[in-house]
Amino acid sequence: MTTTYSVPDISCQHCIDAITTEVTKVDGVTEVNVDLGAKTVAVVGGDTTAIVAAIDEAGFDVAM
């Protein structure tokens, strides 16, 4: 199942790399796609709470 998170502070390739690195570490995550234009992170697998925490660890807030 793919879950999409809105992350309004994404602005560059460094942001994409940081988020991808952290979210990939979450157990059960099989795919991470960051869309710079839409400012979203689409994740396949993993626990929502852990994914939001990983995005936070990368230095970004998920818009609720």
Whether 62 is covered by a domain: the verdict is no
The HSE-up count of residue 19 (CA atoms within 13 Å, CB side) is: 30
Q: Which helix (H) or strand (E) holds 13?
A: helix 13-24
* pLDDT on residue 20: 98
Give the domain range for residue 42.
2-57
Going residue by residue through the chain (64 aa), what tens digit of pLDDT does each one get? 999 999 999 999 999 999 999 999 999 999 999 999 999 999 999 999 999 999 999 999 999 7
* SS3 category, 60: coil
Question: Number of folded domains in the chain?
Answer: 1
Q: 37 lies in a domain?
A: yes
